[in-house]
Amino acid sequence: MRCVGIVFSVVPTSGYEHYDIPGVYMLCRREPNGVHILYIGQADSLAQRLGPSHPRWGEAMRRGMNEVHLHLLAKTEAQRLSVERHIISRYFTPMNRGALANALVAFARGAGRGLAGMFSPLAARLADIFAAGLPRLPLGLNFDSFRSR
Question: Total structural domains in the chain?
Answer: 2
User: 23, 74 in Cβ contact below 8 A?
Assistant: yes
Domain co-membership, 59 together with 125: no
Tens-place pLDDT, residues 90-105: 888 889 876 556 656 5
Domain boundary among 39, 61, 91: 91
Both 77 and 127 in a single domain? Answer: no
Are 51 and 19 contained in the same domain? yes
- 109 and 84 both lie in a single domain: no
Q: Which of 51, 37, 48, 33 is nearest to 6 (CA)?
A: 37
pTM of the model: 0.68
Summarised one tens digit per residue, pLDDT across range 6-23 is 999 999 998 888 899 999
Q: Phi/psi class of residue 3: alpha, beta or left (left: φ > 0; alpha: ψ in -120 to 50)?
A: beta
Domain carrying residue 32: 1-91
Radius of gyration over alpha carbons of the chain, in Å? 18
Whether 60 maps to a domain, the answer reads yes
